[in-house]
Structure 1
């Protein structure tokens, strides 16, 4: 993740009020529940002497959410006395609860960890006539969150279904059916390529009818084809089929996230061996102040020393942010891959 995206937040003068709302299942009493949850958070902020202007800005933003799912979605909201400076979806670990902070710098560590661990997918549920193409964000322990959806209808005028009987014209009709399938698959593949170029997914998942999804994969450009994942889930139209696809997306996302953390851990160890790795709050802070941090690294399940300061300083120097594998045992829970060696 590019930390430079946080510059518009960090450039504001603090202090900052940061609120995390845990995502919960929609319910009929969601509005009243949200008000009660906010009341507890407001009392916490006021106990920390938060400026009333920042508190009122948060209240206006949080309580204006649309009823139902909008009031149940997880969110992170940051405000200063000037107003709200960040309002983003956030998928907390189950049972994390709601939290609030009034601090000199915004508390964005949890937001970064979740955003970095989440896996962005383009999911294609294909049949021989077209496909549903969805962009999904899959966070650990959560249902996939759909952030974009479109339907693709193949342009072939011929039906893709192969004939039964009619032996004399069987081969000619079958060739037409095969060509119709390829034409429709090409249309779907072009749409998938366009979608992927916009959202830059971590993985493209091809689901639905086996013949259709295989045909689509064959039409994809090599940079997508070689990393696309096929699944036999999602071929039906009933609720069980959708639930099976959801389970499969969660499994695939877990594998992608694990592979990504393994790669980052390997690069950190390689950098350390070549004198361009650092760990520990003080060492990484020194490197960041010198503009040397190329990638800031946190370890899942651990707080990082000087966390808010490191996030701000590394955002200022356009560092990236990633997670290493749990159990890496970074000193103080923080490490970095450096752009150049820094003397201790």
Structure 2
């Protein structure tokens, strides 16, 4: 999982208020349910030490935006009367998960979301496309691309005098497909899409695929289902997209687990356990942080400093590297901050695939002879 979408949440002074709440509007009384849910969460946050100004700032964003139809969650962080992060996501908790501490607490959302795959879905026809983008954070964006409508339908008769018209139709379809491909490329790059799904008219989706840059075609697949026609039922398409994304996520986990198993016994390539992984994060060694799906982490604490990589199991260890006033924080929040700010990826690994000491492992970028084993 690419954690870069979390970059903006760090760098604000403590205490940080974290909210991950269900804001789905899939029932008649949804607005009332959201208000009741937030009221309860708000009271609990106040009891945990959240200040009035920060709670008032959250009042202005929680449940105030309408997300896509169906399940919807909202993640918000706030501090000192200011909302520092606000995102709607497709994976809500049952009710809410909240916290107040030195750092934002994104792990409840990340674990609930699982191995999310950012993607672009384009449903195309001869005129243009409906494009759905889901970025690394799970946020949705809908857009339309409309090309020239005439001429895009070939004449039924094949007489000689229609050949010129046929060529004009083919050229217009190609022109529209190029425009769609450019938009797909733009959204794929801004969202860091790992999968591109092209659905819709059979002939057109092939042309759009061919118009994509070579570097993106390796991530693109053509869906069998899907139509851009008005009133079309795209249930089968969404099922197919889900299957494609699950396959991709499964391949990612398999590749990471295989790499970890190959490196096991060689501390230059992998490490495991809270102490060793924290030490590796201090040195920017971690390429991929591996977290057991069954691992809790909420009851474990570490010591942190103001810099993201300053994380250790003991206060003395941070004193030894020059941190004047270490503070305690949840281990998951501290490790996610360090991984995000040092450019490490995160992969959740089912326990049946492999087990790590204390539920945490890491693939390393480079060797360090001082790494504890």
Could you say which TM-score interval applies, normalised by the shorter chain?
0.7 to 0.9
CA distance in 1, matches of 2:339, 2:152: 56
Tell me the residue number matched to 2:372.
343
Structure number with higher helix proportion: 1
1:141-160 matched pairs, under 5 angstroms: 146-154=140-148, 158-160=151-153
- What's the TM-score, normalizing by structure 1? 0.82
Cα gap change, 1:320 to 1:191, in 2 (>3 Å): same
- What's the TM-score, normalizing by structure 2? 0.77
CA distance in 2, matches of 1:335, 1:215: 44
Tell me the residue number matched to 1:326.
350
Q: Does 1:308 find its partner at 2:300?
A: no
Tell me the residue number matched to 2:40.
40
State the Cα deviation string for residues 257-292 of structure 1 (Å, max 9, x = none): 222222222333344354221111122122223433
Aligned residue for 1:128, secondary structure, equals coil
1:244-283 matched pairs, under 5 angstroms: 244-275=236-267, 276-283=269-276
Cα gap change, 1:277 to 1:53, in 2 (>3 Å): same
1:73-222 matched pairs, under 5 angstroms: 73-92=72-91, 96-113=94-111, 117-136=115-134, 146-154=140-148, 158-164=151-157, 166=159, 168-169=160-161, 174-222=166-214
1:207-246 matched pairs, under 5 angstroms: 207-235=199-227, 237=229, 239=231, 241-246=233-238
Deviates more, 1:66-75 or 1:80-89: 66-75
CA displacement at 1:75 relative to structure 2: 0.8
Tell me the residue number matched to 1:286.
279
CA displacement at 1:70 relative to structure 2: 9.9
CA displacement at 1:231 relative to structure 2: 1.5
CA distance in 2, matches of 1:199, 1:300: 25
CA displacement at 1:67 relative to structure 2: 6.3
State the Cα deviation string for residues 272-331 of structure 1 (Å, max 9, x = none): 354221111122122223433233222334324521222233345x13132143122222
CA distance in 2, matches of 1:7, 1:199: 14
Aligned residue for 2:277, secondary structure, equals helix
Cα gap change, 1:159 to 1:20, in 2 (>3 Å): closer
State the Cα deviation string for residues 160-212 of structure 1 (Å, max 9, x = none): 4143253x446565555444443433333333333333333111111111111
Whether contact under 8 Å (2:118, 2:195) holds in the other structure is yes
Cα gap change, 1:187 to 1:242, in 2 (>3 Å): same
Cα gap change, 1:170 to 1:10, in 2 (>3 Å): closer
Aligned residue for 1:164, secondary structure, equals coil
Aligned residue for 1:61, secondary structure, equals coil
State the Cα deviation string for residues 211-251 of structure 1 (Å, max 9, x = none): 11112222322222233111121126254532222222222
CA distance in 2, matches of 1:53, 1:271: 50
Whether contact under 8 Å (2:133, 2:140) holds in the other structure is yes
CA displacement at 1:153 relative to structure 2: 0.8
CA distance in 2, matches of 1:82, 1:138: 27
CA displacement at 1:113 relative to structure 2: 4.0
CA displacement at 1:154 relative to structure 2: 4.4
- Which structure 1 residue ranges, 5 or more long, are not aligned? none
CA distance in 2, matches of 1:76, 1:200: 20
Cα gap change, 1:162 to 1:29, in 2 (>3 Å): same
State the Cα deviation string for residues 43-84 of structure 1 (Å, max 9, x = none): 222333433343333334326x14686998311112233432
CA displacement at 1:114 relative to structure 2: 5.6
Cα gap change, 1:152 to 1:272, in 2 (>3 Å): farther
CA distance in 2, matches of 1:74, 1:99: 11
Q: Does 1:295 find its partner at 2:288?
A: yes
Tell me the residue number matched to 1:22.
22
